[in-house]
Amino acid sequence: MTISIPIQPGRQVIRRGSRRRVRTLPLVAPSVLVLLLWMIVPLAMTLWFSFQYYNLLNPMLSGFAGLENYRFLLTDPALWTAMANTLILVGSVLAITIVAGVLLAVLYDQPFAGRGIARLLVIAPFFVMPTVSALIWKNMLMHPVNGIFAWITRSLGLGVVDWFADVPLLSIILIVAWQWIPFALLILLTAMQSLDNEQKEAARIDGAGPVAMFFHIILPHLGRAIAVVAMIETIFLLSIFAEIFVTTSGGPGLATTNLAYLIYSRALLQFDVGGGSAGGVIAIVLANIVAIFLVRTIARSLDR
Amino acid sequence: MRHAKSDRIALSVLGWTVALVMFFPIFWMVLTGFKTEAEAVATPPSLIFTPTLDNYADVQNRADYLKFAFNSVFVSLGSTLLALAFAIPASYAMAFFPTWRTKNTLVWMLSTKMLPPVGVLVPIYLLFRDTGLLDTRIGLTLVYGLINLPIVVWMLYTFFKEVPRDILEAARVDGARPADEIRHLLVPLSLPGIASTALLAIILSWNEAFWSLNLTASKAAPLTAFIASFSSPQGLFWAKLSAASTLAVAPILIFGWMSQRQLVRGLTFGAVK
């Protein structure tokens, strides 16, 4: 294959290795600029609105509110319910997906007949759009009358669980965990494959059984990858929205309202821009606490 | 030997059981899409039935499925092209001419991904309302292009770093300008990397559901928002929901399966190798 490079006539020949000749600023600047705008402008607006009286339904009420929006939000029990729900949702999904992810990574690292296809089937849920997963689970699996789960438990004589009425938050947790187990598996499987075979062999010769092998060789090796999975999932799980939007709309009561859904309902259903923005600021602060750790881990991997 | 063989069989059984359980909801969705509405809600679940394509026809005739599918295609492809146009020059510069700023720039770009979307929902919604971008394909394309830009820059950066520098340097000695270098050398040489980056961006845009639910209504709604319209309690149509969902999920599932290895690189920003 020949590649022809147009040559600039009359251009001075550049010395090999003199890299500064290429001006990189015009190449990088557009990306930086659009991202800066995308980040700074709305962020500044959120911050500004959070200190204003601003309700789309009541234009008479306006002006500087000081910390009034925050005071109102922080003394509202709904916020604390939403915070608790957010933490339960994130914590449970993390626990389920990481434990399942590690076990499945070990399982799918072993050779067996048809492993390639089995792997494809397991990771499939990650590519299903959230609105589809939520509605399929809610209607066809968890429906108390016509759902598969109800049919199974009834056939076993165990009675029926009305998932979204009896255990609404758990139902959401199960759906979200189903979507994210493949993510944990994909990443941990990649990490498994970088495990040194010699190290495993040496441990086996030293008489390490499968259990000792798991706890002393495999788990420590996966430590970093587990941390990365936990942090990336946390960032996404803090903002779970579509699954709640299409199944419960935050209910019954506030049972499945997380922080993201609370802000949405304040701002776009009750048109309280000020209050919604104050909630937004709280969400940003929360996410940033996790983000700092994640960014550090990733920045460290850049140096290697 | 016998022990090893029984182990292997147990492993296969376990591996396949887990796989089938995880895949079951998707399998059931595809199956239900070929049932009549009566069979779809039957208990015990009907396994033997005469498959019908009526649901697929209905989804198109009554709900104009193709309009929403077109919106999804437009927004995913448009936003991916937009992100690539910005990212290719930036990643080229950072991969081949690193300065003391490069690492910080990369990490900073990434950190914009960590801003929870709900934190900027209110201003974006108001800005879109005031500029007439609400419920337009262009508006959603811009948003998706921007939220995917950091991942695209990051992935391209790791792919570009694998291109031998000597080739590009030789071209530079011959007087090639950066634009020529990118067009005639870098892009052809790293085409597989660019393709898998594009694939990931398409997958992420196709499945994005926060902004599509909040920024679009009937006109520009992509498939994520269209499927959400099935959640109304009056008149649930499971078979039609399943048919529409199958159509919405199938193309991206195949893309996902094709790109699973590169996916890890993109989703962990190279932190797991």
- Whether residue B138 is predicted with pLDDT greater than 50 in this model: the reply is yes
Q: Which of A43, A98, A127, A192 to mutate to test the interface with B (most CBs of B within 10 A)?
A: A127
Query: Nearest CA to B77 among B133, B152, B151, B145?
Result: B145
Contacts of A241 in chain B (CB under 8 A): 117-118, 209-210, 213
Chain pair A-B, CB pairs under 8 angstroms: 338
Q: How far apart are CA B207 and CA B253, in angstroms?
A: 11
B 213-242 residues with CB < 8 A to A: 213-214, 223-225, 227-228, 230-231, 236, 238, 241-242
Query: Tens digits of per-residue pLDDT, A136-169?
Result: 998 888 888 888 888 888 888 888 888 888 899 9
Q: Which of A51, A104, A140 to mutate to test the interface with B (most CBs of B within 10 A)?
A: A140
Cβ <8 Å between B245 and A135: yes
Question: What does the pLDDT read at residue B236?
Answer: 66
- Whether residue B1 is predicted with pLDDT greater than 60 in this model: the reply is no
Contacts of B171 in chain A (CB under 8 A): 5
Query: Tens digits of per-residue pLDDT, A271-294?
Result: 888 888 888 888 888 888 877 877
Coil, strand, or helix at residue A223? helix
Cβ <8 Å between A298 and B269: yes
Torsion of CA A83, A240, A280, A284, to 10 degrees: 90
- Whether residue B111 is predicted with pLDDT greater than 60 in this model: the reply is yes
Question: What does the pLDDT read at residue A16?
Answer: 45
Decide if A60 touches B, using CB distance below 8 A. no
Decide if A176 touches B, using CB distance below 8 A. no
Question: What does the pLDDT read at residue A17?
Answer: 46
Cβ <8 Å between B173 and A14: yes
Prediction ipTM score: 0.86
Question: What does the pLDDT read at residue A132?
Answer: 93
Decide if B166 touches A, using CB distance below 8 A. no
Query: Considering only A134-138, B2-6, B157-161, B194-198, which range has the smallest mean pLDDT?
Result: B2-6
Q: Please report the domains of chain B, with CATH numbers, ordered by start residue.
A: 59-268 (1.10.3720.10)
Q: Which of A108, A135, A189 to mutate to test the interface with B (most CBs of B within 10 A)?
A: A135
Cβ <8 Å between A284 and B150: no
pLDDT > 70 fraction of chain B, expressed in percent and rounded: 96
Query: Considering only A213-222, B25-34, B40-49, B57-66, which range has the smallest mean pLDDT?
Result: B40-49
- Whether residue B124 is predicted with pLDDT greater than 80 in this model: the reply is yes
B104 against A58, higher pLDDT = B104
DSSP-derived letter for residue A289 is H
- Whether residue B89 is predicted with pLDDT greater than 80 in this model: the reply is yes
Per-range mean pLDDT, top range of A22-26, A233-237, B134-138:
B134-138
Q: Please report the domains of chain A, with CATH numbers, ordered by start residue.
A: 53-303 (1.10.3720.10)
CA atoms within 13 A on the CB side of B249: 24
Decide if B251 touches A, using CB distance below 8 A. no
Q: Measured between CA atoms, how close is B204 to chain A, in angstroms?
A: 9
Q: How far apart are CA A285 and CA A280, in angstroms?
A: 9
Contacts of B173 in chain A (CB under 8 A): 13-14, 16
Q: Using an 8 Å Cβ cutoff, are A153 and A159 in contact? A: yes
Torsion of CA A205, A206, A212, A215, to 10 degrees: -90
Question: What does the pLDDT read at residue B234?
Answer: 55
Q: Which among A115, A224, A295 is the nearest to B111, CB-wise?
A: A295
Q: Which among B127, B185, B209 is the nearest to A130, CB-wise?
A: B209
User: Phi, psi at residue B269, to the nearest 5°?
Assistant: 55, 40
Question: What does the pLDDT read at residue B88?
Answer: 94
Reduce the secondary structure of chain B to three states and give it as a string: CHHHHHHHHHHHHHHHHHHHHHHHHHHHHHHHCCCCHHHHCCCCCCCCCCCCCHHHHHHHHHHCHHHHHHHHHHHHHHHHHHHHHHHHHHHHHHHHCCCCCHHHHHHHHHHHCCCCHHHHHHHHHHHHHHHCCCCCHHHHHHHHHHHHHHHHHHHHHHHHCCCCHHHHHHHHHCCCCHHHHHHHHHHHHCHHHHHHHHHHHHHHHHHCCHHHHHHCCCCCCCHHHHHHHHHCCCCCCHHHHHHHHHHHHHHHHHHHHHCHHHHHHHHHCCCCC
Question: What does the pLDDT read at residue B246?
Answer: 93
Query: Tens digits of per-residue pLDDT, A4-57?
Result: 444 444 444 444 444 445 678 888 889 999 998 888 888 888 888 888 877 777
**Bridge-partner residues for A53, per DSSP?**
A63
Cβ <8 Å between B263 and A186: yes
A55 against A130, higher pLDDT = A130
Average pLDDT score over residue span B144-155: 91
Question: What does the pLDDT read at residue A304?
Answer: 55
Contacts of A238 in chain B (CB under 8 A): 116
Cis peptide upstream of residue B98 (ω within 30 degrees of 0): no
Question: What does the pLDDT read at residue B233?
Answer: 62
Q: Using 50, 70 and 90 to split pLDDT, how confident is the model at B271?
A: low
Cβ <8 Å between B119 and A46: yes
Longest dimension (CA), chain A: 88
Question: What does the pLDDT read at residue B238?
Answer: 85
Average pLDDT score over residue span B90-100: 88
Q: Using an 8 Å Cβ cutoff, are A297 and A226 in contact? A: no
- Whether residue A96 is predicted with pLDDT greater than 90 in this model: the reply is yes
Decide if A18 touches B, using CB distance below 8 A. no
Q: Using 50, 70 and 90 to split pLDDT, how confident is the model at B142?
A: very high
Q: Which among A108, A123, A128 is the nearest to B260, CB-wise?
A: A123
Q: Using 50, 70 and 90 to split pLDDT, how confident is the model at B177?
A: confident
A283 against A177, higher pLDDT = A177
- Whether residue A85 is predicted with pLDDT greater than 90 in this model: the reply is yes
Question: What does the pLDDT read at residue B270?
Answer: 67
A 209-248 residues with CB < 8 A to B: 224-225, 228, 232, 235, 238-239, 241-242, 245-247
Question: What does the pLDDT read at residue B172?
Answer: 80
Decide if A107 touches B, using CB distance below 8 A. yes
Question: What does the pLDDT read at residue B139?
Answer: 92
CA atoms within 13 A on the CB side of A206: 12
Cβ <8 Å between A239 and B125: no
Q: Which among B16, B123, B227 is the nearest to A131, CB-wise?
A: B227
Closest-approach residue (CA) in chain A for B32: A140
pLDDT > 70 fraction of chain A, expressed in percent and rounded: 91
Decide if A38 touches B, using CB distance below 8 A. yes
Cβ <8 Å between B122 and A150: no
Decide if A152 touches B, using CB distance below 8 A. no
Contacts of A290 in chain B (CB under 8 A): 114
